[in-house]
Amino acid sequence: MTASNDGRADVLWFLPTHGDGRYLGASEGAREVSLSYLRQIAQGADDLGYYGVLLPTGRSCEDSWVIASALAPLTRRLRFLVAVRPGLQEPSVAARMAATLDRISDGRLLINVVTGGDPVELAGDGVFLAHDERYAVTDEFLHIWRGLLSGETVTYRGRHLRTENGRVIFPPVQKPYPPLYFGGSSPAGIAVAAEHCDVYLTWGEPPAQVAEKISSARRAAEERGRRFSYGIRLHVIVRESEGEAWEAAERLISKLDDATIAKAQATLKRQDSVGQSRMMALHGGNRENLVVSQNLWAGVGLVRGGAGTALVGSADQVADRMKEYIDLGIDRFILSGYPHLEEAYRFAELVFPRLPLRATTGRAGGTARNDGPFGEIIANDLVPARRVGANG
């Protein structure tokens, strides 16, 4: 895959298999993450025309492969971005799982390559390698995985992994294999991405930092004769006015106390992930220092690992900030909001019409009826005028 930015973007949403609610760090307003609830989010995202959904991975989450397998038959167009974990799986097993899920979903599988950045969690999973060695395992894993799913008979002898005459008999629908998404901010991570992956991911840093990271990744890929697509992972808090959006942001963290924030930051500091360190540096654990760029707020990162920033503002402001990222080369947005069911609708209704979207995002892609009527009939007789947005 050598897709390039064409000035348009796809938008993915998020399945909160590790928990959801109206407030961060609190049981008040929390929701049970049942299959029924996840189904509502997935089917809502499908009907709204999101390109796909990201399923997180780790010991705090329900297993992403099991959830994606359960939801794929209940959706029509939605793609599932599911994690492979080098070091936790043999590449041959992961390849067969990927081929099967791609087949039963009719080619709707996307692969998120997750090396892992928490030594304590990794030790609990039986992985005791240092940071760069984990990326060395990822490199060997992907050499084998890509070969198997490309239809090759693979014999490989590496420092960490070995395969003799490996094969995948039932091929995936997508050729040569489902697209590989990968996020890594360290030199070791960028090198692996440049060698193997199709979409390079970053968390939601200010535009100048994202531009710097994209430039480094692009150079690494070009040295290997390859090109990336680029994606960004962000939360979003969008309302009809800027004031309402900032009020919602403050409300989201209103149940957090200093002790909870301190405990969360101490846990996050043990990670050796460069990307996580960059996220934490944006706010320094200080709730008074959360606006890190125009309409970019780091409040989520006070207690959440991984993506810790949110775009906050009116629909026009959020769309403008996203267009700035598109101008940098981003063509995939992986978004989320609390609670995820309602915010999936809010974002699609408010911001989709203001974005330059590809045909693969939005209702123009054919998931839902596009002939209306939209909204309640006025006085049982008059059809509301339909608003025409950036996509026609």
pLDDT tens digits for 290-340?
999 999 999 999 888 888 999 999 999 999 999 999 999 999 999 999 999
Mean pLDDT of 372-380: 74
The predicted structure's pLDDT at residue 333: 98
The answer to whether residue 85 is domain-embedded is yes
The terminus-to-terminus CA distance of the chain in angstroms comes to 29
97 within some domain:
yes
Return the CATH number at 37.
3.20.20.30
- Asked if residue 322 belongs to a domain, the reply is no
Angle subtended at Cα 24 by Cα 21 and Cα 30, rounded to the nearest 5 degrees: 25
Q: What is the pLDDT of residue 2?
A: 39
Q: Among 365, 340, 354, 360, which Cα is nearest to 391's?
A: 354
Q: Per the structure, how many domains does the chain have?
A: 1
**Is residue 116 assigned to a domain?**
yes
- Rounded CA separation 210/112 (Å): 19
Residue 4 predicted with pLDDT over 80: no
Structural domain containing residue 128: 10-231+331-365
- Is residue 261 one of the residues assigned to a domain? no
State how far the Cα of 392 lies from the Cα of 66, in Å rounded to an integer: 37
Average pLDDT over residues 146-168: 97
Residue 272 domain flag:
no
Between 17-21, 170-174, 282-286, 347-351, the lowest mean confidence (pLDDT) is in 282-286
Does 190 fall in a domain? yes
CA distances, 258 to each of 142, 301, 320 (Å): 42, 14, 33
Q: How far apart are CA 277 and CA 289, in angstroms?
A: 16
Give the pLDDT score at 392: 44
Mean pLDDT of the chain: 91
How crowded is residue 370: how many other Cβ atoms within 10 Å of its Cβ?
Answer: 12
Residue 316 domain flag: no
Assign residue 375 a region (left: φ > 0; alpha: ψ between -120 and 50; beta: otherwise).
left
pLDDT at 380: 67
By mean pLDDT, which of 10-24, 133-147, 301-315, 317-331 is the weakest? 301-315
